Structure 1
Amino acid sequence: MGSPADFQNEIYLKGLGDVVPELPTDLTRLEGLAEERLSAKAYGYVAGAAGSEHTARANREAFDRWRIVPRMLRDVGGCDLATRVLGTDMPAPVLLAPIGVQAIFHPDGELAVARAAAGTGLTTVLSTAASYAMEEVAAANGDGPRWYQLYWPKDRELAASLIGRAKAAGYTALVVTLDTFTLAWRPRDLDQAYLPFLRGIGVANYFSDPVFQEAVGGPVDASNRDAALMHWVANFGDPTLTWDDLGFLREHWDGPIALKGIQHPDDARRAVDAGMDGVIVSNHGGRQLDGAIASLDALPGVVDAVGDQATVLFDSGVRTGADIAKALAIGAKAVLVGRPYIYGLALGGEAGVRHVVRCLLAELELTVTLSGHAGLDGLTREILATGDIRHGSSG
């Protein structure tokens, strides 16, 4: 595979034949185009956030406060973004974040994303709330790297079954989302009276599960669909979970485990004490708790607390390659990208997702080299400023 930054040369060369990209290369423009393309319900679901959406705005404002201070004459003739995260080799420290109900954005949903991820070498993280069963997505992903995200249900037998199926289908790391044991107050969805799960979208992993089917009297069809949906409602999340319950995960999963939704350093330390392999600093893209701390503001404290004891990953608010570089410089081992690739999916299916991925990786590589570094090792907090720039004498 060539350099990700070669994508810009490819674009310019095609321009000689008056061929321009079908989608913008400024990924911040995708949301507006997606709003024009999607139904109000689908757009509100992906673009919306909790309450006044203050947390979502805070995520973006936090990125603006951190600025990169470039260095010159540093020999950046070659740049290597490759890394290994929780046992998975990656061409760059970028993953496709778990996002559910993708069929409301494009009919191929998670299948298109899985194919695009495999084609670009990135790791896709499949949501429990997917539109297609995890086995179907694994088939679409082929030999591509994939992780599984668990929404931990109340029914422990169902949880064990979901985890076991993921292992059998070749998902190599388990991401456990902690911040969504119940859905938040989301005005954009409420104003549309729209919850896709109640319309049978995003429940494929449940309806295809043998434990779930046994609980509702057999395979889900027209005769028991309403009962199945109510069983899903009753079991989606478990607000009674505590740190003591994490042992259950280790009993049923022998691979790496990362806890998603960590914001406080003490919670990160408790994750380490519980034997977890990683934590993902995330506020669910602002979708769960209005008025919460921005993820990027939470990242330094978590890295300082456990950075040498567990793998720290990051998501929430990422829109560009420069955003990714900033999170890596603060101390994240890798970054999960969410809404941008969903907008790409909505606008162009698999090709749209590939476009977003290629843009992100190209911009990330160019950001690294233009800041004066030839690889990920150079991305430390020393390259960032948040106000007064402190000039040092070190190389």
Structure 2
Amino acid sequence: MTNSSPEVVPASSYQAEIYFAGLSGATPPLPTDLTQLEPLAKQRLDPGPYGYIAGGAGSGATMRANLEAFDRWRIVPRMLRETTRRTLSSTILGTRLPAPILVAPVGVLSIAHPDGELAVARAASALGVPMVLSTASSHTIEEVAEASGDGPRWYQLYWPTEDAVTLSLLARAKAAGFDTLVVTLDTWTLGYRPLDLDQAYLPFLRGVGTAIPFSDPAFLAGLAAAPQDDLMAAVGRWVPMFTGTALRWDRLPLLRDNWDGPIVLKGVLHPEDARLAVDSGMDGIVVSNHGGRQVDGAVAALDALPGIADAVAGRAAVLFDSGVRGGADVFKALALGADAVLLARPYVYGLALHGEDGVRHVLRGVITELDITLGLSGYSDIAQLSPDALLPMGS
């Protein structure tokens, strides 16, 4: 785990702020137990959007496995260590992180809140947390970059089958200041998602989550009419372009040759795929099962993490997502080999409930819980974490 010029994070800053605000009768805008956000968001959202955000593949077995995997590991606190001042910061692939947390790429965020990705970009930028922008955004690359201001930002690619469109998207992202490319591997076709199927709800078919391709010159060049004049033609061109065709290892040189920053492959669950990624010149991987949205009955991402970290052996950055619901989960993922963690559903629920302020609340809560957990467990720096900080249940 790399760590460059570490900064000291004020201990429990958000917790102290909440308690002192309480002296004047103020309380947080949302529950601080982030697992309580989903039922509140369900009450706020229409069934289609809620199902799209909360649902998973098949019976939901993989989503359950993600959560259960965290429960199988227990933190073993150590005592009488100097942990008054904690360091959460690190540098991952050239990006400075105030804490080992990034905002995961989640598409079509306008179904949660009208400001969608713009609200997320503003909240993340205010905290210095990198946002990974999804290709399936409700706002354009350039709009989200403007909302991000000086904040760090990465771009997630759903890889189109048409190379001209791919290269155009990469050029736009680079021009807009996105410096790391995250390529999602596990969603080349949509998983079997009953909550979406039962309501016949797929936002892309309604022209939602298509702002990036619908503003792209290479994509528009293949249309006889602008998307606003013939939506179905535009949708009919885009949907088969980013879903339905399997990705292959021999296609990676196209990205390497046309992106001069770090490239991260997202959706890796097998150690051999991790080795292939490194051997192919990739700079990082994200251990992820897409939050349980793609394959029912798949391995929990956390269960796959230690083996992949061993296979990579420091030759590339190892990031993690799927099942993270709080700062203690971040602690466990770091201890098991992750360099940083991508947070997904909790911030989307925060967005649905309270817009930009809701996203900020979630991010600050996770960072504060991580800070407190780190100190109370006997560690002063995230770089000190290893599997020795944990004990598997039953041991």
353, 364, 371: which one pairs with 2:359? 353
CA deviation profile, 1:273-311 (whole Å, cap 9, x unmatched): 100000100000000000000000000110000031111
| Structure 2: tracts of 5 or more residues without a match | 1-7
Amino acid at match of 1:304: D
Aligned to 2:104: 97
29, 40, 59: which one pairs with 1:33? 40
Runs (4+) off by over 3 Å: none
Aligned to 1:159: 166
Per-residue deviation, 1:214:
0.4
Amino acid at match of 2:76: V
Q: 2 CA distance for matches of 1:273 and 1:284?
A: 23
**Residue 350 (structure 2) pairs with residue 344 (structure 1):** yes
Aligned to 1:260: 266
Aligned to 2:331: 325
Q: 2 CA distance for matches of 1:295 and 1:90?
A: 22
| Structure 1: tracts of 5 or more residues without a match | 390-395
Map 1:296-307 to 2 at 5 A: 296-307=302-313
Aligned to 2:95: 88
Aligned residues: 388
Q: Secondary structure at the match of 1:204?
A: coil
241, 244, 249: which one pairs with 1:243? 249
Contact 1:147 1:175 in 2 (8 A): yes
Contact 2:9 2:86 in 1 (8 A): no
Aligned to 2:3: none
Aligned to 2:76: 69
Contact 1:152 1:238 in 2 (8 A): no
CA deviation profile, 1:70-118 (whole Å, cap 9, x unmatched): 0000100100101001110010010000000000000000000000001
Aligned to 2:5: none
Q: 1 CA distance for matches of 2:92 and 2:298?
A: 28
Aligned to 1:189: 196
Identity among equivalent pairs (%): 59
Q: 2 CA distance for matches of 1:270 and 1:184?
A: 24
**Residue 369 (structure 2) pairs with residue 375 (structure 1):** no
Amino acid at match of 2:312: V
Contact 2:88 2:100 in 1 (8 A): yes
**Residue 303 (structure 2) pairs with residue 291 (structure 1):** no
Question: If the length of structure 2 is used for normalisation, what is the TM-score?
Answer: 0.97
**Residue 108 (structure 2) pairs with residue 117 (structure 1):** no
CA deviation profile, 1:146-185 (whole Å, cap 9, x unmatched): 0000000111111111111100000010000000000011
Per-residue deviation, 1:338:
0.1
Contact 1:56 1:287 in 2 (8 A): yes
Q: 2 CA distance for matches of 1:245 and 1:176?
A: 12
Q: 1 CA distance for matches of 2:353 and 2:10?
A: 26
Q: 1 CA distance for matches of 2:177 and 2:224?
A: 29
Aligned to 1:316: 322
Question: If the length of structure 1 is used for normalisation, what is the TM-score?
Answer: 0.97
CA RMSD, 1 decimal: 1.1
